[in-house]
């Protein structure tokens, strides 16, 4: 039986990182392994196939998952177990849960690109089926095999959209016609990908309520940065970083564009404001959730980001840092391929993880300069043809 | 180009009834055909296969879809076109939309039983994939092939759950920390089936906003009754009616139980309050939605029911009518297989369809007596083994 709260050093847990070969998953697996937990990675390797499909690749060269895990063992003596398979296949999920019996599952194993989900009908359907069915299978595996397991699910701040009121953490107290209730925060997602996360959230909330299992939904902002203590130990441990128009995200993409002399491409006016966080804070947040699990029957929601920026602000900041490094980066406004407000109110509460002890790495010029330097180092790997947005919302 | 509002008699439209072999779909197809519209039915025949899977059948004997449509032609001279196929198969959907070019689609083609979705993992996954992918395909077909087509989608009042505040029609004005916005009404569905409808609603809302297409979501209450003007014309036109623990719904099931001398099975205390409507009002509501289409870009939500009852009230009313017919019906309280509140606040707004002209058929003792008589007539078709609930939520 789990204690409600565990202190660092007291607890070693069996933790499954689903999607553990990806941008967030791989550094998370190393982070928990470095801290002595028993870590397993589940991955179908599909993220690498999407690179092939889109004709792109990670800016950084990345080793195979087997090479990564072997290098980690060589450097630290620590084992990470690998389960290769697809969460939409029940036989795989069932067998893995019976074999590993995780005490916590960190679930990153979803198609995570909004533009990818908007390429066409087939990509929209794929994204929703992949994400929803994978999560349903994990929920049933927890219920039937490891009912005490804590599901730590990656959601997205994009589930909320851009309402004209403050965004709360998952729930909102509503007073209406003389009565009141605390209800799930209304969702207005922007893409079939973001919609898939809304579907997941509703499914998980229901499973917690009906089955008494427990879950934390981490509505994560846009992640920037690349390096963590573990991934920079050895080239075989390098993390991936995406700069293409489909999987690349705002800040990282601007840094890479600046490094290779490409214009910083802002969609529309750039007034779109979102929550952002450093990838090192992703790891901290997931660890805080794991060490302070939800109660049985509880569907707990944290907004996981540290600062809000508009897209144009970020482009201007990258431009300024690039200039200090002798690089002239021009900002261009592309016709917005997305249907979204380019000027809007945005204020999202994000105190629950701070209350648990999160110490944010706020965005620094040094981090931006470091990203630009990394991109300069690997600039020969950049294909300029894949930088522009291709998927259109309209 | 459509007029914003059309009066009865002015307009003949090409209308596709998806799920047109089912309990709501078949009478809807006849209703529109009788009024001179050009009607096509899409159906995969899967509802009849679920009967086989569950070892049950409609209380009323029903003809094959081909026999039904041939009888309708023979009796009225009117043609109904049939497309046999599955909405989750894009090739089928695309070909049908190109061939028929509907001006309105009434979309009933979903797995509609909460208990069926809760049988096990496979049924939960099937329900969500079937319902969500089918609707995604319809949305893409409208966008790509018939962008002026009005989607009339059957949702369910169960999307809202039982909040402690009044339920509004799709949206709610929220004042919060000195600001305000009109946002989608928060959803707390009770089953993987109800969840699939919530997923649909979010997907359709996004498609309307992004693509400028138009849709009406009819959040329907529990439908009771059986006969409509058209289905009672000839035995070959009879509609199906379900009494089993999986597809049977509260009022109809009680009437059939009373007719065959089975106890009226109330789950738990029976204080669960829901919206109900006569199947003849389903047809009226769908027609009102079709004749007054949503605006382009609009995702319009109507709450489609006429009266609220608790489950126990309905059982008591059926008991009383049965007694007046010389039948002794005993009410028994079964352990509730569902996770739901058995006593709760419930007040759902339902004025928009009334504003469009709905003339409700309120629940009458005559209708209950008629259902009991129908069930007596077909009592030899009742298998007592399939009446009890089998799927469990816990």
CB contacts, 8 Å: A166 with chain B = 176-177, 179
Reading the block at residue A321, the tokens are 């840092």
How much of chain B, in percent, has pLDDT values that exceed 90?
Answer: 94
Comparing alpha-carbon positions, the chain B residue that sits nearest to A139 is B121
Task: Give B123→chain A minimum CA distance, Å.
Answer: 11
pLDDT in tens, B17-71: 999 999 999 999 999 999 999 999 999 999 999 999 999 999 999 999 999 999 9
Q: Which of A210, A336, A346, A348 to mutate to test the interface with B (most CBs of B within 10 A)?
A: A210
Question: Residues A113, A119, A122, A128: what is their CA dihedral angle, to the nearest 10 degrees?
Answer: 30
Separation of alpha carbons B121 and A311, rounded Å: 42
Q: How many CB atoms within 10 Å of residue A186?
A: 23
Comparing alpha-carbon positions, the chain A residue that sits nearest to B184 is A186
Separation of alpha carbons A183 and A179, rounded Å: 13
Contact A312, A245 (CB under 8 A): no
Q: How many CB atoms within 10 Å of residue A179?
A: 13
Parallel, antiparallel or unpaired: strands B14-18 and B104-107: parallel
> Among residues A56, A197, A216, A306, which one is catalytic?
A197
Query: What is the number of alpha carbons within 13 Å of residue B329 lying toward its C-beta?
Result: 28
A165 and B177 within 8 Å at the Cβ level: the answer is yes
A187 and B202 within 8 Å at the Cβ level: the answer is yes
Separation of alpha carbons A281 and B70, rounded Å: 66
Comparing alpha-carbon positions, the chain A residue that sits nearest to B339 is A210
Domain CATH code at residue A272 = 3.40.50.720
Query: Residue B21: what are its φ and ψ, rounded to 5°?
Result: -100, 0
Separation of alpha carbons A52 and A45, rounded Å: 12
User: Torsion-angle region of residue A263: left (phi > 0), alpha (psi -120 to 50) or beta?
Assistant: beta
| pLDDT score of A391 | 82
Residues 6+ away with beta carbon under 8 Å from A1: A148
Task: Give B226→chain A minimum CA distance, Å.
Answer: 32
Separation of alpha carbons A260 and A20, rounded Å: 29
B137 and A128 within 8 Å at the Cβ level: the answer is no
- Number of structural domains found in chain A: 1
Indicate the length of chain A as a whole number.
394
Q: Which of A206, A213, A336 to mutate to test the interface with B (most CBs of B within 10 A)?
A: A206
**SS3 label, residue A18:** strand
Comparing alpha-carbon positions, the chain B residue that sits nearest to A203 is B195
Comparing alpha-carbon positions, the chain B residue that sits nearest to A125 is B133
CB contacts, 8 Å: B199 with chain A = 128, 132, 195, 198-199, 202
Contact A199, B211 (CB under 8 A): no
Where chain A has pLDDT below 70, the residues are 1-11
Comparing alpha-carbon positions, the chain B residue that sits nearest to A338 is B210
Contact B188, B194 (CB under 8 A): no
B176 and A172 within 8 Å at the Cβ level: the answer is yes
CB contacts, 8 Å: A211 with chain B = 394
Separation of alpha carbons B345 and B348, rounded Å: 10
What is the rounded average pLDDT for all residues in chain B?
Answer: 96
Is A392 domain-assigned?
A: no
By the 10 Å C-beta count (0-12 exposed, 13-18 middle, 19+ buried), B369 is classed as: middle
Separation of alpha carbons A160 and A189, rounded Å: 6
Separation of alpha carbons B265 and B284, rounded Å: 31
Query: What is the number of alpha carbons within 13 Å of residue A342 lying toward its C-beta?
Result: 13
Is B23 domain-assigned?
A: yes
Q: Which of A125, A137, A166, A204 to mutate to test the interface with B (most CBs of B within 10 A)?
A: A125
A206 and B184 within 8 Å at the Cβ level: the answer is no
Comparing alpha-carbon positions, the chain A residue that sits nearest to B167 is A176
CB contacts, 8 Å: A130 with chain B = none
Is B323 domain-assigned?
A: no
Q: Which of B147, B183, B201 to mutate to test the interface with A (most CBs of A within 10 A)?
A: B183
pLDDT in tens, B77-101: 999 999 999 999 999 999 999 999 9
| pLDDT score of B1 | 37
Query: CA A314, A320, A321 angle in degrees (round to 5)?
Result: 90
Separation of alpha carbons A293 and A301, rounded Å: 12
A202 and B192 within 8 Å at the Cβ level: the answer is no
Task: Give A156→chain B minimum CA distance, Å.
Answer: 16
Comparing alpha-carbon positions, the chain A residue that sits nearest to B200 is A199
- Catalytic residue status for A60: no
Residue B156 bridge partners (DSSP): B220
Is A8 domain-assigned?
A: no
Name the residue among B128, B136, B206 with its Cβ closest to that of A136.
B128
**SS3 label, residue A287:** helix
**SS3 label, residue A302:** strand
CB contacts, 8 Å: B189 with chain A = 202, 206
CB contacts, 8 Å: A195 with chain B = 199, 202-203, 206
Cα of A66 vs its chain's centroid, Å:
22
Reading the block at residue A88, the tokens are 């939409």
Parallel, antiparallel or unpaired: strands B179-184 and B171-176: antiparallel
**SS3 label, residue A336:** coil
Separation of alpha carbons A183 and A203, rounded Å: 15
What residues of B are annotated to the active site? 156, 193, 197
Cα of B228 vs its chain's centroid, Å:
15
**SS3 label, residue B11:** coil
Contact B106, B17 (CB under 8 A): yes
Q: How many CB atoms within 10 Å of residue A157?
A: 25
Quick check: B188 pLDDT over 90? yes
Residue A301 bridge partners (DSSP): A217
Residue B310 bridge partners (DSSP): B273
Is A3 domain-assigned?
A: no
Separation of alpha carbons B107 and B122, rounded Å: 24
Is B26 domain-assigned?
A: yes
Residue-range definition of the domain harbouring residue B128: 14-238+278-306+348-359
Handedness of CA B210, B213, B214, B215 (dihedral sign): negative
Q: How confident is the model at residue B393 (pLDDT cuts 50, 70, 90)?
A: confident
| pLDDT score of B159 | 98
Name the residue among A133, A183, A191 with its Cβ closest to that of B163.
A183
**SS3 label, residue A34:** helix
CB contacts, 8 Å: B203 with chain A = 128, 192, 195
User: Torsion-angle region of residue B55: left (phi > 0), alpha (psi -120 to 50) or beta?
Assistant: left
User: Computed over its alpha carbons, how large is the radius of gyration of chain B?
Assistant: 20
Q: How confident is the model at residue B157 (pLDDT cuts 50, 70, 90)?
A: very high
> Which H or E run contains B103?
none
Task: Give B291→chain A minimum CA distance, Å.
Answer: 27
Task: Give B193→chain A minimum CA distance, Å.
Answer: 10
What distances in angstroms separate CA A312 from CA A225, A271, A333, A342, one per listed residue?
18, 6, 9, 10
Quick check: B8 pLDDT over 70? no
| pLDDT score of B10 | 60
Residues 6+ away with beta carbon under 8 Å from B167: B157, B160, B185, B303, B346, B347, B348, B349
Q: Which of B91, B159, B161, B195 to mutate to test the interface with A (most CBs of A within 10 A)?
A: B195
Separation of alpha carbons A28 and B53, rounded Å: 45
| pLDDT score of B83 | 98
- Average pLDDT estimate for B100-110: 98
DSSP secondary structure string for all residues of B118-187 = TS-HHHHHHHHHHHHHHHHHHHHHHHHH-TTPEEEEEEEGGGS---SS-B-SSEEEEEETTEEEEEEPP-
CB contacts, 8 Å: A345 with chain B = 179
CB contacts, 8 Å: B165 with chain A = 174-177, 179-181, 183
Contact B18, B87 (CB under 8 A): yes
- Average pLDDT estimate for B310-318: 97
Interface predicted TM-score of the whole assembly (ipTM), two decimals? 0.96
**SS3 label, residue B278:** strand
Is A91 domain-assigned?
A: yes
> Among residues A193, A224, A238, A243, which one is catalytic?
A193
Is A394 domain-assigned?
A: no
| pLDDT score of A193 | 98
Separation of alpha carbons A81 and A40, rounded Å: 4
Residue B15 bridge partners (DSSP): B39, B104
A166 and B189 within 8 Å at the Cβ level: the answer is no
**SS3 label, residue B360:** coil
| pLDDT score of B2 | 41
Residue A17 bridge partners (DSSP): A41, A106
């Amino acid at each position: 039986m789990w204690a409600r709260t565990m202190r660092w050093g007291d607890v070693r847990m069996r933790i499954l990182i689903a999607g553990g070969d990806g941008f967030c998953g791989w550094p998370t697996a190393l982070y928990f392994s470095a801290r002595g937990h028993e870590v397993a990675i589940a991955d179908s390797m599909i993220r690498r196939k999407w690179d092939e499909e889109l004709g792109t690749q990670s800016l950084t060269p990345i080793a195979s998952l087997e090479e990564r895990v072997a290098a980690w063992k060589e450097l630290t003596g620590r084992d990470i177990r690998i389960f290769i398979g697809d969460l939409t296949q029940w036989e795989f999920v069932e067998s893995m849960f019976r074999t590993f019996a995780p005490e916590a599952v960190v679930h990153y194993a979803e198609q995570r690109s909004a533009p990818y989900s908007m390429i066409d009908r087939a990509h929209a359907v794929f994204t929703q089926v992949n994400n929803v069915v994978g999560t349903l299978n994990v929920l049933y595996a927890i219920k039937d095999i490891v009912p005490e397991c804590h599901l730590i699910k990656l959601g997205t701040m994009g589930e909320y959209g851009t309402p004209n009121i403050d965004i709360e953490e998952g729930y909102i107290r509503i007073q209406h016609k003389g009565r009141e209730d605390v209800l799930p925060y209304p969702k207005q997602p922007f893409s079939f990908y973001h919609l898939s996360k809304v579907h997941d959230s509703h499914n998980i909330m229901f499973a917690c309520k009906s089955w008494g299992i427990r879950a934390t939904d981490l509505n994560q902002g846009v992640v920037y940065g690349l390096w963590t203590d573990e991934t920079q130990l050895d080239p075989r441990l390098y993390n991936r970083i995406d700069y293409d128009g489909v999987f690349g995200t705002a800040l990282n993409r601007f840094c890479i564009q600046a490094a290779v002399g490409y214009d910083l491409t802002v969609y529309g006016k750039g007034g779109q404001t979102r929550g952002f966080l450093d990838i090192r804070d992703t790891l901290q947040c997931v660890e805080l959730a794991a060490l302070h699990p939800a109660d049985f029957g509880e569907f707990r929601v944290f907004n996981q980001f540290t600062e809000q920026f508009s897209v144009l602000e970020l482009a201007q900041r990258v431009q300024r840092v690039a200039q200090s490094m002798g690089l002239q980066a021009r900002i261009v406004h592309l016709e917005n391929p997305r249907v979204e407000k380019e000027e809007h109110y945005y204020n999202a509460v994000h105190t629950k993880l701070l209350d648990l002890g999160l110490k944010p790495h706020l965005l620094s010029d040094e981090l931006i300069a470091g990203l630009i330097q990394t991109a300069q180092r690997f600039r020969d790997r950049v294909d300029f043809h894949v930088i522009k947005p291709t998927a259109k919302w309209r």
